[in-house]
Structure 1
Amino acid sequence: MNQLAYPNLYCPFPSHINKHIDVLERHALEWVLRFNLLANESSYQRFCKSKFFFLAASAYPNCQLEELKIANDWLSWAFIWDDQCDLSNLGRQPDVLKDFHKRFLEILNGAELTSKDIPLAYALSDLRQRILQRGSQEWFHYFVDRYEGYFDGCVQEAVNRAQEITPDVDSYMLIRRLTLGGYVFLALMEFCNYLTIPDSLRNHEVMKELKAMTINILAWCNDIFSVHREMSSGDVHNLALLIYYQQNVSLEEAILTVSEMHDREVHRLKDFESSLPSFGEELDAELAKYISGLHGWISANLIWYSHSGRYQNIDSLELNQ
């Protein structure tokens, strides 16, 4: 597996790095340590090697420092929780997972912390307070709804693991769009880039299609680079692995199939963007900024894999209580 040659994925979009990246790197570690989110030395090393700060600085290259810190900390929180869902026993206990998610949503909606809450809950409360100081209640409600979708996807994966269900490709792709967290971080892009997207545009079929294609691109890219970790941990939630198991092809062929899907989707996104309708001068300007942000995420996500050691580690985890 370690000798697999990963394909060169197509990405025509430029990459940029936020000028605050050095400050962000220091802040990123300080924040997770302040909230005791790293249970032991292994978790500490995993976090440092993952370099989430690089992803944040690449995905949000134009935002100011405080917004960038908030975006980075959301990313760190989500990836740390994602590891718990994928690599700990929680990933096979959907009912327990639901209880955690219920409590997290209560905190995001303003519930007071208690002594029974875990460190991740305290970190979530901190993020809520900081983001509401700089963003609107209306936008935050939209953001929390996206998080609820992410949590639902994690539970669906846990049900599959608990019941030893191997989903078909179509079923998997529906779940994957949620568990990627893409809707969360595209919503966060609005906050970081100071966009004003009214519901009339946000709910338009054009926006839905732009987001769906972008999330497909991000998900399929991730599945290619994480295939070793999922295979080693016995997890079937990876598009390349499902094609490998279900279509009687080699793993190399399965990865190539996913890479071809990825590249076609990038071309489809570009073609779609070239034929967008006009929504009026003001909304067209906001939509252009939004699309630029989508491009930034696609580029940042791909480049990050060459800097990050996240998917080289397959150790199991325990929840930090």
Structure 2
Amino acid sequence: MSTTGVEISLLKRQAYLIALPVTLLAVVLTLALDMRHGDDPFSFNQVALPLLACALLGLTLLLYLRTVPLRWIEHGFFLVAAATFLAKFGSLALPASLPVPDAEVAQVYIWAPFVYLLAFLIYRLQEALKRSLLIYGLSVLPGLWAVVAVGPQSLGSLTRLTEFYLASGLWLAMLYVLGSLKTQLFQLQTRFGEMERLAHQDTLTGLANRRRMEARLAQQAEQFQQYGLCWAVILFDIDDFKRVNDLYGHERGDFVLRETARLMQYELRGSDQIARWGGEEFLILAGHTDLVHARALAERLRVLLARHTFGEAGTITASFGVAAYRDGESVSALMQRADEALYRAKHAAKNRVEVALTPGEPLNLPPLHNPFAARLPTTDPQLCEETSAWLEQFGLGPGNAHARTAFAAGFVGLAAALHPRACRAALRLTADWYSLMFLHDDRCDSSGIGRDPARLQSLVDRLLSVFQGGTLRPDDEPFAHALADVRGRLLTWGGPTWFAELTGEVRAYLEALSWEAANRASGSVPTLADYLHMRPITAGLQIDGAFLEVMDGVRLPRAVRDHPQVRQLAVHADRAVCWSNDILSLEKELQDGDVHNLIPVLMHARRLSQQAALDEAARMYHHEVEQFLAGEQALPTFGEDEDEQLREYARLLRARVGGILAWSHHSSRYQVGDLVS
């Protein structure tokens, strides 16, 4: 059965689920009233209505239990209605009942249109007409019998009887005309739908064609401005396709195109859309997907295609170009970047994935020395699955299960690197929190909401309300529901006093993102002084500092924590983290057109070239590392227990600097190669 047929069947079932019980109730009430006021226990109503009620009850039960096809229920409903009408009409024509007054005859006349209408609702046009004419013909017999046997006034006046038969005939004619119009309209809609399908569908592969995909791209760009959800395009081209046609013929080439379309459709998520862009080129619109995950998706598709055997043509490969949409960018500009990336893949070696570059000078990232380097701890697969399932529960992260687990694994690994003393439950809670922070930070960096201070501030106010225990509303986004969940777990884990301190840091972090949005909206590059102050806050490092107390069990007395040298040690560690992260994430943020990065700030403040700013950022990173090492050696003493806690605190700060660098080196989030040493 077609999708339309299924929908109509469901609508009919819902209608009968209302109509049958209502009709049953009406019959029962009529019977009750008749039994109360009627004198003859053998009248038609008191004999026929119980039978009618039983029939309707049986049909209703069969409909609810779904034990028989819906078509049988429809047949039964019509037969019961028609039989009741004819039986009632026939009972009036019995010799004992004649003559019958107009009022009682009218009670039968009004049900005739219902029977005819039911026939045209249930059956096809010609079948409905045949059944209705049969009912009409049978209804004529009692009238003729009564007139012949008793006289013209037997069933009311002869005029009323004649009007009834004429009106019934008119009803049949109108229903037939309306049914014919409905049939013709349905045929026109079907033809129009087929014409529209042919206009927007590639006839060879069954995929959307270029015209349909161009409309979808425009819609996606509009939705980005509304909801701020990231998306990307993947343009790929079958390598050496002309050779397939030349060696095996165009029929085999058509098979390769159809099979490629089938493979892609099977592998893609429900939210992804694919079209044949032209010739042997295909385009994928990957919704809710940033550049990193779009690249991973393209790589997975490349491998899938390369491993598949295309019958006589053997194996084929394809080259892929990936581009993520940037706020304010036209669809044509996006497609041009994807096309340029595909061109590079074609001319590099084919069978590869290339990501669209940002216009401008090429990046030559300086090496970063990591004196705190350590092997990343082995990631617990079960923890990754749990965080992935938690994200899926709230509809967050990549839609594909494999990609979502890989996404979650990154934050489980980061939590383990930054919190080496944390127990398993603490790591799970920290990984969930990190995934939320990164998701929110990314959408603020790359989406429309990150350039709209009013909208973002409204969202910040709502998220803060939720984090402080406010009641969730039906219109709250999935992110707010996830935040409410992790908020309850953090409160239970750390207690009210610690949670109050954490809430202050979360407020500062969310409001710092509003500061970034105000800069984007005004087209302003922050001053160097403002950026140096705000960057550790926008990185959420103060939040992570609070985590050290309850996740790692390092509880510095306030006098120790607030000592100028201890505070300065944390400042050096935080700045080292921020400057290294800005260097590693520069290409990603340039893709998004964001200026909240140390390199663009230095370029603007000191009139440096991009490369000179990169080198200066690396110098600043190494300076902070040197200051941290010197500060660590010069820490004052506070007592045996306090000094042990302080040494552990310094080790955790080391883990923060070195762990984030090591994580960045291994994470798919930043493609840094051998940059970190």
- Normalized against structure 1, the TM-score is what? 0.89
User: After superposition, where does 1:33-182 map in structure 2 within 5 Å?
Assistant: 33-38=392-397, 40=399, 48=407, 51-182=410-541
Contact kept, 8 Å, 1:197 with 1:286, in 2: the verdict is: yes
Match of 2:542 among 163, 183, 187: 183
Q: Structure 1 CA distance, aligned partners of 2:440 and 2:406?
A: 12
- Find the residue that maps to 1:13 and give its secondary structure: coil
Q: Partner residue of 1:285? A: 644
- Find the residue that maps to 1:216 and give its secondary structure: helix
Q: Structure 2 CA distance, aligned partners of 1:62 and 1:291?
A: 13
Match of 2:619 among 260, 266, 278: 260
Distance 1:19-1:226 versus aligned 2 partners, 3 A rule: closer
Distance 1:149-1:246 versus aligned 2 partners, 3 A rule: same
Deviation readout 1:152-205 (Å, 9 max, x if unpaired): 210111000011111222222222121111111121122211122333333332
Deviation of the 1:22 alpha carbon: 2.6
Q: Partner residue of 2:629? A: 270
Unpaired stretches in structure 2, ≥5 consecutive residues: 1-356, 672-677
What residue identity is the alignment partner of 2:549? E
What residue identity is the alignment partner of 1:207? V
- Find the residue that maps to 1:36 and give its secondary structure: coil
Contact kept, 8 Å, 2:388 with 2:405, in 1: the verdict is: no
Deviation of the 1:52 alpha carbon: 2.2
Deviation of the 1:242 alpha carbon: 2.1
- Find the residue that maps to 2:666 and give its secondary structure: coil
- Find the residue that maps to 1:167 and give its secondary structure: coil
Q: More deviation in 171-180 or 219-228? A: 171-180
Distance 1:310-1:14 versus aligned 2 partners, 3 A rule: closer
**Structure with greater Cα Rg:** 2
Contact kept, 8 Å, 2:412 with 2:427, in 1: the verdict is: no
Match of 1:204 among 544, 548, 563: 563
Higher relative contact order (CA 8 A, sep 6+): 1
What residue identity is the alignment partner of 1:131? L
Deviation of the 1:101 alpha carbon: 1.5
Please report the RMSD computed on the Cα atoms of aligned residues, expressed in angstroms.
2.4
Q: Partner residue of 1:315? A: none
Deviation readout 1:256-293 (Å, 9 max, x if unpaired): 11111101110101101111111222221211111111
Q: Structure 1 CA distance, aligned partners of 2:385 and 2:420?
A: 17
Sequence identity percentage = 31
Q: More deviation in 218-227 or 191-200? A: 191-200
Deviation of the 1:74 alpha carbon: 0.8
Q: Does 1:233 align with 2:569?
A: no
Distance 1:81-1:130 versus aligned 2 partners, 3 A rule: same
- Find the residue that maps to 2:505 and give its secondary structure: helix
Q: Structure 2 CA distance, aligned partners of 1:13 and 1:76?
A: 24
Deviation readout 1:42-80 (Å, 9 max, x if unpaired): 9x5697298222211211122111000011111000000
Contact kept, 8 Å, 1:202 with 1:208, in 2: the verdict is: yes
Q: Structure 2 CA distance, aligned partners of 1:68 and 1:101?
A: 26
Deviation of the 1:222 alpha carbon: 0.7
